[in-house]
């Protein structure tokens, strides 16, 4: 039996239809793929950028056929124009699409799902993004981990899309331990080996190792307790040099205190060669490591590489 992989079409006002169509054409093993999204919108957007693929509407995953067509599990969407920019009108559609994927994965009807980029404004102030939304639905608040991955290096921000001013009030030793334990367990499950973790300090030069620094009061005690649990973790390391010393330090996962501390250098090094994996869920969920790119909607300029990498990863990984 083919193990199905769902792609949630995500934000309708985006490059998502374009990268889905391009990825589907390039992937050799695409027979197990189907889309959760609006059939009419997807078909119109693909036609607008003149990508030649056949799209087929299905009402259930039982209707999926190997007919060389891109199967779309239809989710209703009311829109007035081809690329409508209205958060209120798309919020229900995007959340319903995610919920359908969540339920299919939770009930083991699919191997995993990928969500194409989503405008985080649909979550208002309740969730910081898809990672936190799915963590809530899985009842694992503060244990979920966002890992940006490629075969050379992975990075993890302990806080995701949190404003800088709120970081020190959010991170504590207990949070660090929870996240690292999730990382260690989930990484082993995925790759059959333990991660080698380098954790970064928060402040420039680790606050020069001052006694009352965040590094000494919060990060170091967590590291010592994690080492006693046989976790392979080192640090804290100054963030400005750790990415130049990966071989010397001997790590394959860098854990930072906030989003841009690890995402900015990672993207500078690897560009589109990365995917976003949510660790700690009851199923496997990944996404491309980029946003909705509204500035190039409908221009046939979008790069599908991150989505292709996500599909290839799920095709290769064992359940």
Tell me: the pLDDT tens digits for 232-268? 999 999 999 999 999 999 999 999 999 999 999 999 9
Distance CA 33, CA 110 (A): 10
Q: What is the pTM of this model?
A: 0.91
Q: Are 289 and 276 in contact (CB under 8 A)?
A: yes
User: What tokens appear for 279 in the block?
Assistant: 């660790």
Overall average pLDDT of the 158-172 stretch: 93
Distance CA 254, CA 235 (A): 10
Each residue of 261-299: pLDDT tens digit? 999 999 999 988 899 999 999 999 999 988 888 888 888
Distance CA 256, CA 135 (A): 20
Determine the topology of domain 141-280 in CATH: Isopropylmalate Dehydrogenase (3.40.718)
| Proportion of the chain above pLDDT 70, given as a percent | 95
Whether the pLDDT of residue 83 is over 60: the answer is no
Whether the pLDDT of residue 82 is over 50: the answer is no
Query: Which of 319, 188, 178, 197 minimizes the C-alpha distance to 246?
Result: 197
- Tell whether domain 1-139+285-319 is in CATH 3.40.718.10: yes
- For 73, the 3-state DSSP assignment is strand
Distance CA 119, CA 38 (A): 17
Q: Are strands 70-74 and 33-37 parallel, antiparallel or unpaired?
A: parallel
Task: Please determine whether the domains at 1-139+285-319 and 141-280 fall in the same fold group of CATH.
Answer: yes
Residue 196: other Cβ atoms inside 10 A: 15
Distance CA 310, CA 113 (A): 10
Could you give the C-alpha distances from 221 to 129, 177, 261, in angstroms and in order?
A: 29, 10, 21
In the chain, domain spans: 1-139+285-319, 141-280
């Amino acid at each position: 039996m083919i193990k199905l992989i769902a792609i949630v079409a995500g934000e309708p006002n985006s490059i998502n239809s374009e990268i889905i169509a391009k990825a589907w054409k390039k992937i050799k093993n695409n027979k197990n793929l189907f889309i959760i999204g609006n059939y009419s919108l997807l078909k119109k957007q693909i036609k607008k950028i003149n990508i030649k693929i056949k799209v087929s509407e299905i009402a259930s995953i039982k209707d999926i056929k190997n007919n060389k067509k891109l199967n779309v599990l239809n989710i209703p969407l009311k829109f007035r124009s081809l690329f409508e920019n209205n958060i209120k009108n798309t919020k229900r559609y995007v959340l319903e699409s995610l919920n359908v994927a969540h339920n299919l994965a939770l009930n083991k009807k699919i191997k995993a799902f990928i969500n194409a980029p989503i405008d985080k404004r649909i979550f208002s102030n309740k969730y910081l993004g898809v990672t936190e939304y799915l963590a809530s639905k899985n009842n694992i608040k503060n244990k979920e981990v966002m890992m940006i991955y490629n075969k050379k290096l992975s990075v993890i921000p302990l806080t995701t899309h949190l404003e800088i001013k709120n970081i020190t009030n959010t991170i504590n030793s207990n949070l660090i331990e929870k996240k690292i334990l999730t990382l260690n367990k989930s990484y082993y499950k995925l790759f059959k080996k333990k991660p080698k973790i380098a954790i970064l300090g928060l402040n420039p030069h680790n606050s020069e190792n001052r006694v009352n620094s965040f590094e000494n009061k919060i990060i170091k005690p967590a590291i010592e307790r994690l080492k006693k649990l046989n976790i392979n973790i080192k640090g804290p390391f100054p963030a400005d040099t750790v990415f130049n010393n990966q071989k010397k330090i001997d790590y394959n996962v860098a854990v930072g205190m906030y989003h841009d501390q690890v995402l900015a250098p990672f993207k500078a090094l690897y560009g589109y060669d990365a995917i976003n994996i949510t660790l700690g869920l009851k199923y496997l969920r990944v996404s491309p490591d980029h946003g909705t790119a509204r500035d190039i909607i409908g221009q046939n300029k979008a790069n599908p590489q991150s989505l292709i990498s996500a599909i290839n990863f799920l095709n290769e990984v064992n359940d």
